[in-house]
Amino acid sequence: MRIQELDVVDIKLDGQNPRHEPTTSLREAVAALFADGEGPKMVRLAEDIAENGLSPAEIPVILKDGGSFVVVEGNRRLAAVKLLANPSLAREVGCELRFKELAKKPKAHIEKVQCVIVGSREEARHWLELRHGGELDGAGVVRWDTEQAQRFHGRRGNQADKAIRFVDAIEEAYPDNEGIQRLLLDVRRSRLTTLGRLVSDPYVRRRLGITLDADRVRARYSSEDLQPAIERILSDLSGSKPRVSVTGLKTKDQRQTYIEDLVKKVLSGAARSADDHPLSPAGAKTAKKRKVSGQGTKPETLMPAPLFQGVALTKLGGRVSAIVAELQTLDLEAYPNAAAVLIRVVLELAVTEVHQQKGWKEGKLRDMVKKCVQAMDPGSVDSRLQPVRTGLADGTSLLAVRTIHAYLHNVHFNPTPTELRTIASNYAAFLAGLENLV
């Protein structure tokens, strides 16, 4: 077995490829790789190669059979390279035009390929089994689970991200609780998607008194008071036959029914504080202290930035400008409900004013926000507006218009200062951008 660089034109596709019935020609082998609904995958592979080149992590295995070179591992990749070099090979499978377009990309033309050369199929057999035979107790390819894939891709704000932040915080909050740590391990392995669906629902988070900040979990309960609810949730999701499945939490009504039953049984409303604090390990203090000369020990406090800091709306009417100015001076710790209502009012008045000045048809608040976002950023390239687009796409997001609307109309939605600051900071660019539309 050796490494050797070969000309692509000298490499034959394998007529004995396990992916399909035996073939006797290049065109037959290409057609077989496109059969049984595999065509879109082949096109997608070719698109990636044309854009990025061949993966350096996957070297084709080539059988030297007399004077011929036959690819025994990497048939799909080599077929894609050959199609990019000769798009007419895709005529019979109806993709010639697409491959002609892809062939114009600068990385589409690959003439030579680094290969592993073997002398027999038996010599290649072990490596093919490791590549395609599953995990094989760890000897084969071990695919990432949901959590590992999420950590690699780093997608912020989706259900998996919320679930991971939640379980990470719970793991740190109960380091000595063997029961919780054991349940967490099971949830991480197989129930992360279900947990994500639950904790992504703003209603669920409010009833539990928790907030998912970017880098921490905050709570209105102490770790000790919240512990029975955590144990109940993890227990319900764990085991070979969990009491609650992903289909049992599919709808908002199902999630509300579940969390109301849990809160009623295991959470004491008397233990709920007026504001949230970082979820600290059980038994730890929830607030840092500092010494003030001559005054003993006092909680350390920082002056938070005002809501919509730097936003001064002048083209959307005097009332909108006045409300924004009032919000920027409001004591958020003392008046979170008033602030939540005013955020909702500012949003509706501002987008309505834009619609009226532009002559656009008015409708539901979400639809009007969406119309404004599309007008501001038709190509969806402005990263400052991505949080608003996320809220439009995910009705369970903290940034969803539905969430902001619920602060006004749902008696169970209790805003926290942290949540309101998050909403305001993510909508500030959107509000400022409305000025440029009129």
Handedness of CA 341, 392, 417, 349 (dihedral sign): negative
**CA geometry: angle 166, 172, 175, nearest 5 deg:** 130
Q: What is the pLDDT of residue 301?
A: 42
158-180 residue pLDDT tens:
777 788 888 888 888 888 888 88
What is the pLDDT at residue 138? 62
Question: What DSSP letter does each residue of 284-353 carry, written as one string?
Answer: S-SS-EEEETTTEEEE----PPPTTTT----SS-HHHHHHHHHHTTS-TTT-HHHHHHHHHHHHHHHHHH
Burial of 140 (0-12, 13-18, 19+ CB in 10 A): middle
pLDDT of residue 289: 39
Distance CA 117, CA 424 (A): 60
Scanning the structure block, which residue is given the tokens 């609650």?
244
Q: Report which of 152, 292, 271, 294 is spatially closest to residue 223, judged by C-alpha positions.
A: 271
pLDDT at 8: 94
**Residues of the chain where predicted confidence (pLDDT) is lower than 70:** 133-157, 214-215, 269-270, 282-305
Integer Cα distance of 161 and 157 in angstroms: 6
Distance of CA 348 to the CA centre of its chain: 28
Partnered with residue 277 across adjacent β-strands are: 219
Which pLDDT does position 89 carry in this prediction? 92
Question: How far does CA 254 lie from the centroid of its chain?
Answer: 23
**Pairwise CA distance, residues 13 & 75, whole Å:** 6
Tokens 């309960």 -> residue:
221
> Can you tell me which residue has the tokens 């109960």?
174
pLDDT in tens, 185-227: 888 877 888 898 898 888 898 889 888 876 678 888 888 999 9
- At 287-310, the pLDDT tens digits run 443 444 444 444 444 445 678 877
User: Could you identify the residue written with the tokens 């037959």?
Assistant: 28
Structural contact between residues 285 and 296, judged by C-beta atoms closer than 8 angstroms:
no
* Residues 204/399, Cβ–Cβ less than 8 Å: no
Contact 116, 60 (CB under 8 A): yes
Q: What predicted TM-score, i.e. pTM, was given to this entire model? A: 0.41
Q: Distance between CA atoms of 206 and 202, rounded to whole angstroms?
A: 6
**Per-residue pLDDT, 25:** 93
